[in-house]
Structure 1
Amino acid sequence: MIAVTMWVTVLLPYIGLAVAVGFAFAGGIAWIDMLVMAVCYLAVGFGVTIGYHRLLTHRAFTTHRWVEAIFYILGCMAAQGPPVRWAATHRRHHQNSDDHGDPHSPNLHGSGPLGVLRGLWHAHTGWLLHRDAPDVARSVNDLVASPLVRFVDRLYGFWILLGILIPFAVGLYVKGTFTGGLVTMFWGAIVRVVVMHHATWSVNSICHLFGYRTFKSGDMSRNNPIVAALALGEGWHNNHHAFPTSAQHGLKKYEIDLSYLVIRFMERARLVWDVRRPSAAAQQVKALS
């Protein structure tokens, strides 16, 4: 299982990236390739940030079953793991944040420059090569009990394949050639996976080492504007650890949280409800002086 994770999740996207760059130098990059990559990045990214994270893991809002299904399927297309395992790992991270038992803390690997580098490697990628804790599934009994979640989880590989075939089909239709479809597929699927992986992994690594802290959270989580931009609002990580069940991570006017803006739009459209947000009083209690 460790070998499969290493090759599929870590190495193969880089091979695809090299091929995509080769295609770019050989024949240039068409506008459709960049458009498909941008649209897929946002759609699949929101599948992770809104579907996997804020809805599935933290139950930060309530929505229709069909909306849940769409977001969970989009999250699967990110190739970051099946939804139940993703949620189990993230819940364990919150239970033991920056302490023993945290699956991907960068702060438990020694002191000095070498300790920081070891921690960054482990939190960013290395933790993927380790086996899950034997009892990690105990925190997701509620998810396993859901027929919808089980259905999406069982077809995880199919959703990944679908996320590859859709860009290919668009490129084939617009360009009219099989090679054109392959180029669009590599930019809209493989390159998109690489960028989204590193954006998500940066929340685990960079946002526990570099940035500013606004609230008491019992760990070393930090807010990082660059990661927040790349990860669609997930980089306001100190805010998130202070208020884990909040659908809103960017709590200051300058903390742009694209994922929350989508949730807010859906709330106004009455597609979601019971949206959780920390009150001003709750924020005051946890605020660092």
Structure 2
Amino acid sequence: MARSNSLLSLAAASVALLCLTTGPLSFLVPQFCKQAQTTLLSPASASTQGFYANATLQNTLPLQPHWAIASALLAALATRKLNKVGRAAQAKKQKPLRDQVAPENADAVREDRKKGSKNVKGGSKMQRFFSVRNRKFWDFTVWPRTYFKRVWEKKDWMYAVIFGIIHAGAFMAPWYFSWDAFAVFFCGYVITGLGITLSYHRQLAHLSFKTPKVVEYILAYCGALAMQSHPINWVSSHRHHHGATDTANDVHSPKDGFWWSHAGWLLDQKGTWMRVDRSNVDDLSKQWYYRFLQKTYPLHAIVLPIVGLYCWGGLPYVLWGFFARVVWTWHVTWAVNSVSHVWGFQDWNTGDISMNNWLIGILAFGEGWHNNHHAFETSCRHGLKWWQVDQLQVEFVNDVTWYIIKLLETVGIASDLKYPTQAKMKKLSWDSDEAASAAIA
């Protein structure tokens, strides 16, 4: 009740500020504004003493300073009523995801699926490419879900259409190639890619480091431009993944099919039943900024980038700076879920099939050291050794995201950087037991 009263008070203050403005905002509700100005800004009003300075209230009213307008807008946004995610955040915590029972229509029992068990195509051959010693960490057996011959929900079709349009635009990009358009593509890939790895993943999902809120929000906005959903949705799905990694309740395990882990899970609402529970992101859903991004996400991820790029450089900038950039960043990010859970090597006994994959480590700014990450989820550094190639060492750490975090710490922006403890490293190391060997998760 106290929370509701404070919100109502703040909302009333916001409306008052908006109404007092005699500038461009007064056209919204002119009669109400005029009445509010007459009542609240009359010379007899004690609340306005000192407001006018030397101005007199005659036929016109003085223009409010810009900070008042900005404050009113921010206050109005902050006091919007709680949405479904906000209400879900207030719900009671449920039991761990890996212990929950999936709905009957979720196709969760792998051994009962129509396709039966299959081997990942090229499993053993590709392993030679990613592991110098060609060590085997699992048997590449999967139980694929049905991708197409199933009942599609409206949201599945909507996502499929959006994915198709964005990919079609990316395929058109080569016919409009120019080096400046490619530079826009590359810069956009770096900015939005780091927005996902540095902000969405390490800061928001795993709380690996802290920054001032204004910096946190700017970094999160860079991630929002990647068109991989707003922070509340992305972080919730990722936390669900860590809550049940490679089990039947995992939101995108390759044991449900390689292409399922890559992108198929995004097109199956029933198969990803756990995603409707967003109580695991109450730390984000309580913040007005992330609720604002959720409600207005298409504006930031699609409309503003396309309009801005078209005004800047026409169709070539749109095709390269938006369509090609989004598709490339999509598949690099998705490869962390698919490739880095299939091929590579393990330094740590995590009980799953997360792998350290050097190629994805390069393309995804350090996210490819996925076995390291699953061993030490809250660590801001994923590349834990000097250049990792199947435990061969070269003088370079392949973790660009960590370099950026360290740079932010050096200039005093990032703080409370988290790293693996020696005790946990010893506990999870394969080397802690002479008889230890990589288990098939």
Q: Taking structure 1 as reference, are residues 281 and 169 closer, same or farther at Cα in structure 2, changes over 3 Å only? A: farther
Partner of 1:11: 164
Partner of 1:120: 258
Question: Residue 129 in 1 paired to residue 267 in 2?
Answer: yes
1:166-181 equivalent positions in 2, closer than 5 A: 166-171=308-313, 181=314
Deviating beyond 4 angstroms after TM superposition, the runs of 4 or more aligned structure 1 residues are: none
CA–CA separation in structure 2 for the residues paired with 1:37 and 1:155: 24
Question: Residue 285 in 1 paired to residue 427 in 2?
Answer: yes
Partner of 1:142: 283
Q: Which has the higher contact order (CA 8 A, sep 6+)?
A: 1
Give the C-alpha shift of residue 100 in structure 1.
1.4
Question: Residue 152 in 1 paired to residue 306 in 2?
Answer: no
Partner of 2:245: 97
TM-score, scaled to structure 2 = 0.58
Give the C-alpha shift of residue 232 in structure 1.
1.1
| Count of residue pairs brought into register by the alignment | 264
Give the C-alpha shift of residue 16 in structure 1.
0.5
CA–CA separation in structure 2 for the residues paired with 1:170 and 1:262: 28
CA–CA separation in structure 2 for the residues paired with 1:146 and 1:15: 36
CA–CA separation in structure 1 for the residues paired with 2:238 and 2:399: 20
Partner of 2:199: 51
Per-residue deviation, residues 192-228 of structure 1 (Å, max 9, x unmatched): 1111111011011111110010112121100101111
CA–CA separation in structure 2 for the residues paired with 1:163 and 1:102: 33
Give the C-alpha shift of residue 184 in structure 1.
1.4
Per-residue deviation, residues 67-112 of structure 1 (Å, max 9, x unmatched): 11111111111111121111111000000000011010011x3xxx
CA–CA separation in structure 1 for the residues paired with 2:173 and 2:399: 30
> Where do 5+ consecutive residues of structure 1 fail to align?
24-28, 110-118, 172-180
Give the C-alpha shift of residue 158 in structure 1.
1.4
Per-residue deviation, residues 152-183 of structure 1 (Å, max 9, x unmatched): 22221111122333433432xxxxxxxxx210
Give the C-alpha shift of residue 281 in structure 1.
4.1
Q: Secondary structure at the match of 1:62?
A: coil
Partner of 1:113: none
Partner of 1:174: none
CA–CA separation in structure 2 for the residues paired with 1:64 and 1:164: 30
The answer to whether the 8 Å contact 1:77/1:162 transfers is no
Q: Aligned letter for 1:48? A: I
**Higher helix fraction (1 or 2):** 1
CA–CA separation in structure 1 for the residues paired with 2:171 and 2:189: 19
Which of residues 202, 207, 214 is equivalent to 2:335?
202
Partner of 1:82: 230
The answer to whether the 8 Å contact 2:379/2:419 transfers is yes
Which of residues 334, 356, 365 is equivalent to 1:232?
365
Q: Secondary structure at the match of 2:430?
A: coil
CA–CA separation in structure 2 for the residues paired with 1:271 and 1:65: 10
Per-residue deviation, residues 12-71 of structure 1 (Å, max 9, x unmatched): 221001221232xxxxx3221121111110001111111111111111111111111111
CA–CA separation in structure 2 for the residues paired with 1:47 and 1:64: 16
Give the C-alpha shift of residue 233 in structure 1.
1.0
Q: Secondary structure at the match of 2:233?
A: helix
The answer to whether the 8 Å contact 1:248/1:260 transfers is yes
1:197-276 equivalent positions in 2, closer than 5 A: 197-254=330-387, 255-276=397-418
Partner of 1:34: 182
CA–CA separation in structure 1 for the residues paired with 2:188 and 2:170: 16
Mean Cα deviation higher: 140-149 or 161-170: 161-170
Q: Secondary structure at the match of 2:245?
A: coil
The answer to whether the 8 Å contact 1:17/1:191 transfers is yes
CA–CA separation in structure 2 for the residues paired with 1:239 and 1:103: 20
Among all aligned residue pairs of Structure 1 and Structure 2, give the percentage whose two residues are the same amino acid.
Answer: 35
CA–CA separation in structure 2 for the residues paired with 1:167 and 1:238: 38
The answer to whether the 8 Å contact 2:178/2:316 transfers is no
Per-residue deviation, residues 219-266 of structure 1 (Å, max 9, x unmatched): 110010111111111111001100111111111111411111111100
> Where do 5+ consecutive residues of structure 2 fail to align?
1-154, 388-396, 432-441
Q: Taking structure 1 as reference, are residues 164 and 283 closer, same or farther at Cα in structure 2, changes over 3 Å only? A: farther
Q: Aligned letter for 1:167? A: L
Partner of 1:114: none
CA–CA separation in structure 2 for the residues paired with 1:123 and 1:230: 18
Q: Aligned letter for 1:121? A: W
Q: Aligned letter for 2:156? A: I
Q: Secondary structure at the match of 1:63?
A: coil
CA–CA separation in structure 1 for the residues paired with 2:183 and 2:309: 10
Structure number with larger C-alpha Rg: 2
Question: Residue 70 in 1 paired to residue 70 in 2?
Answer: no
Q: Secondary structure at the match of 1:273?
A: coil
